[in-house]
Amino acid sequence: MSVRRKGRFVGRFILALAAFSAVFPFLWTALNAFKNRVDIVTPTPLFFFTPTLDNFAYVLGRGSVFQGLTNSLVISGSAVAIGAILGLPAAYALARYPGKWAKDIQFFVLSLRFLPPVAVAIPLMVIWLELGLYDTRLSMIVTYTLLTLATVIWLSVPAFQRVPREVEEAARVDGYGPYAIFFRIALPIASRSLIGAIAFSFVLVWNEFLIALMLTTSDAKTLPIVASELTQLGRDVPWGILNASVVLLSIPPLLLIGILSGMLNSAFRRKN
């Protein structure tokens, strides 16, 4: 049995290591965000130091960061809202009315994800330039809607499929029409998974980088672009500030982690 016990020890050790690696790098960054430059640029890493809020004050005080934050919220928020308003009904129709082309539509929606982002960004850059909409929030919202809409549809179809048919049948018997069933029965029942799908599409566009890099230069720059510019300053690298901006950028997605893990759980629960 000692082999088994040794195995258990090694296994748990590897798990601990993996857990450490998952969390520590970001925590270390967060810690560095509270350090003065001298405490970061040391030959030996420092765990104890006098914390400072200067880095965050500097980052939040910068016009470009504030503008990036607003842009990110407006662009991601609008694209997700449009994606949800149009995507949820579409997903429901695909889940409940499986006509012969429903499969093809689902594949088409999925295949949008096969497109390399750069292949979308290059032509869109030219299109938005010619329409005079380059580097505007509007063009970014429209572009991101492609991402959010496809993602919401793709993730919501299974969520609607998991709504028990009997419940919908019962509602029909009670005299509900098809639209009423969607709004009053299916939506509320599937809401938990649907919120997960919406949260996921938000994280996707909040984190999006390449398209924003090519479709904005100044006015519509999103937070990832601003943060990456800060991280590439080069000269007399303000390490503390960089760490603070990375932390700021990462907070919104991390806030959604509970919802996303809930979605993961419900996605795998019902299989037997």
Partner 1 sequence: MKSVTALLSGAALVCLVSGAMPLAASAAECSGTIKVLAQPRDGLTLLDKYRDEFAKLSGGANFQIDYLNENDRRAKTKADASTIGRYNVYYIDEANVALFASSGWVAPLLDYYPKDYDYNDFDPGRRAVATYDGKVWFAPLTGGGDLMVYRKDLLEAAGIQPPRTLDDYIAAVKKLNQPDKGIYGTALRGQRGSGANVWRWMPFFKGFGGQWFDGNTPVFDSDAAVKATETYLELFKYSAPGTQTGSWDEAVGAFTSGQVAMLTESTPLVGMALDPKQSQVSDKIGYLPPPSPLTGGGYGHGLAIGTKANKDEVSKQCAGLFIAWATSKENEQRRLEEHQFSELNRSSVFASKKFAELYGPDLGQALADTGKVTAVNFWQSPLWPELGDRWGIILEELVTGTRTDIKGGLDELNDFAKQLVARGQ
Partner 2 sequence: MKHKSTLPAVFLSPALLILAVLALVPTVFAVFISFQDRELSRPDGRFVGLDNYLALFSDRRFVNAIGVSLTWEVLTVGLTLLVALLIGILMFEYAGPRWRSALSLMFLTPVILPRVSAAFVWKFAFHPLYGIITWPYKAITGQPLDLLSDPATALGTVALVDIWQWGLFFAVIVLKLLETLPPQPFEAARLDHARTWQVYAYVAIPMLKAPLISLAFVKMVESLRAFDLIYVMTRGGPGITTETLDMYAFSQGFIESGRISYASGMAVLMMIATSIVFTVIWKRTRA
**C-alpha–C-alpha distance, residues 142 and 88, integer Å:** 18
Residue 245's CB: how many other CB atoms inside 10 A?
Answer: 27
Piece of 62-70, 103-111, 145-153, 191-199 that binds partner 1 (CB under 8 A): 62-70
Applying CB under 8 A, what is the total number of residues that bind partner 1?
Answer: 18
Indicate which single residue of 229, 252, 253, 267 sits in contact with partner 1 (rule: CB under 8 A).
229
Residue type, 27: L
Q: Which does 2 bind (CB under 5 to 8 A by kind): partner 1, partner 2, none?
A: none
67 is a contact residue toward partner 1 (CB under 8 A): yes
Question: Rule CB under 8 A: which of 128-147 touch partner 1?
Answer: 129, 134-135
Indicate which single residue of 16, 119, 219, 264 sits in contact with partner 1 (rule: CB under 8 A).
219
Minimum distance from residue 70 beta carbon to partner 2 (Å): 17
Indicate which single residue of 65, 69, 109, 190 sits in contact with partner 2 (rule: CB under 8 A).
109
Question: Rule CB under 8 A: which of 50-79 touch partner 2?
Answer: none
Minimum distance from residue 74 beta carbon to partner 2 (Å): 17
Q: Judge contact between 151 and 109, C-beta under 8 A.
A: no
272 is a contact residue toward partner 2 (CB under 8 A): yes
> By the criterion CB under 8 A, which residues form the site for partner 1?
63-64, 66-67, 125, 129, 134-135, 217-219, 229, 232-237
